[in-house]
Chains A and B, each alone.
Chain A
Amino acid sequence: MTKPGIDLTPLLRQEMMPTVWCPGCGHGIIARGIATALMSLGLDMDQVAFVGGIGCSGRAPFYFDANSMHTTHGRALAFATGLKMVNPKLTVIVPMGDGDSMAIGGNHLIHAARRNIDITAVVFNNSIYGMTGGQGAPTSPLDSRSTTSPMGSIEPAFDTVELALAAGATYVARTTTFDFQEMPQLIAGAIRHHGFSVVEVLSQCPTYYGRLNKLGEAPDMLLYERDRTKLLEAFGPPPEITREEMVGQLPIGLFRDEERPEYVDQYHGLIARAGGGKSAS
């Protein structure tokens, strides 16, 4: 694995720097994690496609010197599905926000997982809508403050990992921007995995989530991430803990890494059975 400090600039689109992300935002750490993973895998960027949605995370495709698509809110996985189906050689990475993946685009996430299509979804979860100024998200914890839940959220939050596991994703991991040593490895594993992968990365939004919930500056929020999570036994199943017990013990690590027939392969088998001869790509 590449050590921090290595020059990742060949993978980045210099003319789009600096990024749109606020000082202290965790998304740059995730982008670095993705770049580090790509560097360790040595992939040809001509054959890497980033397909993003809308919001702070949706800007990530602009910053990689690859085939980059910035689509509509929540729909990135549907765009990516068409792209991957006709050009299976492409490594397709979908950076998504928690709004993209758990709210407006939740339907596409569960169906991509059900199909087990070879796409890597990286969920940048900062528990809030940052781009629009700090509104509540389906991932905002109960009682947390946002501009649309000024007295505290009365809605329980979605658990991205549980949802991805239940929907059939074959590689599911969670990490945080605090856990930078593990993050690139988990993302690299997801990219290598032949099937639908979801890597949720808990990210800090000091500008809105941190300020509205009095969590301090970005470094304080990194410590907050550290303190509310607990590393899984490597490759083990999630510990049997209740939702109430999860405070301080939100499990992180690799929850699933298993082989199941992949969708594009399945479709190409179907072409062969139909006598379609040449492949779609």
Chain B
Amino acid sequence: MRLVQGNEAVALAAVHAGCNFYSGYPITPATEIMEMMARQMPKTGGVFIQMEDEIGSIAAAIGAAWGGAKAMTATSGPGFSLMQENLGYACMTQTPVVVVDSQRGGPSTGLPTLPAQGEVMQARYGTHGDHEVIVLTASSVVEAYRMTVEAFNLSERYRLPVILLLDAVLSHMRENVEFPDVPVRERVMPTIDENFLPFGPDAPFVPFGSGHHTVVTGMSHDETGLPKALAGQAVQRILRGVQERLAQDAREITFYHEMELADADIVLLTYGITARAAREAVGLLRADGVKAGLLDLQTLWPFPEWLILEKTQAAKAVLVPELNLGQYVIPVRAAIAGRCPVESLGRCDGELFTPEAMVEAAKALAHSLEIGGVAHD
């Protein structure tokens, strides 16, 4: 057991996952990841570089990926906004890269040292044009470690940028932890011939210098990588291919925890740091006779609609507490499609929810719906 900070766990997990390139730019509350990587990378023969801005940071990480590295960058809100254009480039060029965003209050400079969950939609849709992307999150130091390794594994498996959303509290929080041994997906260099299609369905990622003169472009291209005629149809085929693959593997790539869902009338649906208070709230509600349960997601995108429907099948109401004005509640509400009320509990004042605040909101919801266990006035 050792006392480890959330950001430190991310850096240690990255090294465990085989990360050998880190580029970044200082920003609170993500900076410790960078400081740790500045110490760790040279020791393991990897590359660390402090870039001139976050645009350059993600660009260098993508360039390094094409140089053959497992690459990562980390930032917070303002830097994450700057990275959006090149995130889309990574999507379009099917480049494995890990991007950590430790969320702080926003918009703009916002609340640099206080937590938020304001980038849930930005992580999914922030870059222009449609695309698939994988977004993970975590609620504890151990989970931050585990999800960082999974972020690398998924980015390798699907050749996609994977975004890990933390927040200011988790980044700076210290917990006594024993790190789990999370398996690492190693990169295998395939043998390729002259018919190799670098952007073909399930094509392995083959970096520069392999002998295949790959063309990598953010322009629409076909499976050869070349921006030829009918590139619109080609890019649609490629993007849909990624979408279908993720949909097929939905059960494997959706990480979540659940608690007391079997007979729950009220389901608290949370993600990230908010799950910690929700776990306690469920206990308090149960003690008060309210049949509450918890669905805590670590995979936010691709949107696990199937899981949410499965786990809220018998629920009479769903409460979605999140540190924003109500973002993830929107697709949840759309998925449940009126079968039961879906209530948002949002805040963006830089404070976390207390379990009591969730209990109060859940009870008010139960009351308004005349769900059993709540005394009527």
Contacts and interface: CB of A to CB of B under 8 A. Distances in A.
Contact of B64 (A15, A47, A86, A89): A86
B217 to A, nearest CB: 4
Interface in A143-165: none
A173 to B, nearest CB: 24
A67 B215 CA distance: 6
Given A68-B215, A70-B215, A72-B89, A47 B209 contact: yes
B66 interface: yes
A277 B45 CA distance: 6
Contact of B68 (A16, A86, A111, A275): A86
Contact of A267 (B20, B47, B65, B213): B47
Given A45-B213, A108-B52, A83 B218 contact: no
Given A49-B208, A51-B63, A79-B59, A72 B85 contact: yes
A82 B211 contact: no
A280 B56 contact: no
Interface string A246-279: 0000000000000000000001001101111111
B45 A279 contact: yes
A75 B55 contact: yes
A203 B20 CA distance: 40
Interface string B38-59: 0001111111010111011101
A85 B64 contact: yes
A83 B60 CA distance: 7
B46 A276 contact: yes
B49 A82 contact: yes
B294 interface: no
A281 B86 CA distance: 24
Contacts of A276: 41-46
Nearest to B64: A82
A80 B52 contact: no
B335 interface: no
B213 A46 contact: yes
B344 interface: no
A72 B59 contact: yes
Nearest to B89: A72
A271 B215 CA distance: 31
A35 to B, nearest CB: 15
A71 interface: yes
A27 interface: no
Contact of A83 (B51, B85, B208, B217): B208
A73 to B, nearest CB: 8
B24 to A, nearest CB: 12
A108 B53 CA distance: 9
A84 interface: yes
A61 interface: yes
A275 B211 contact: no
B227 interface: yes
Contacts of A66: 213
A89 B42 contact: no
Interface size class of A (residues with CB under 8 A): 35 or more
B45 A280 contact: yes
Q: Is the interface of B mostly helix, strand, loop or mixed?
A: mixed
A120 to B, nearest CB: 15
A81 B47 CA distance: 11
A75 B44 contact: no
Contact of B45 (A47, A111, A271): A271
B62 interface: yes
Contacts of A30: none
Contact of B59 (A46, A78, A84): A78
A129 to B, nearest CB: 18
A67 B209 contact: yes
A275 B52 CA distance: 27
A82 B43 contact: no
B213 A87 contact: no
Given A45-B213, A46-B211, A72-B218, A79 B60 contact: yes
A104 to B, nearest CB: 10
B292 interface: no
Interface in A1-28: 13, 15-16
Given A75-B86, A82-B61, A274 B52 contact: no
Interface string B179-220: 000000000000000000000000000011111011111110
Contacts of A13: 213, 215
B216 A78 contact: no
Interface string B7-49: 0000000000000110100000000000000000111111101
A229 B6 CA distance: 59
A69 to B, nearest CB: 5
A87 B59 CA distance: 15
A86 B69 contact: yes
A124 interface: no
A107 interface: yes
Given A108-B52, A271-B45, A86 B213 contact: no
Interface of A: 13, 15-16, 45-47, 49, 51, 61-62, 65-72, 75, 78-87, 89-90, 107-108, 111, 267, 270-271, 273-281
The 9 A-B pairs at the shortest CB distance, nearest first, are namely A82-B63, A82-B60, A82-B64, A274-B42, A78-B59, A79-B63, A78-B56, A86-B67, A87-B67
Given A85-B67, A86-B20, A267-B42, 16 more contacts: A62-B226, A65-B213, A68-B216, A70-B217, A70-B218, A78-B60, A82-B63, A82-B64, A83-B208, A86-B67, A108-B59, A267-B49, A273-B42, A276-B44, A280-B21, A280-B69
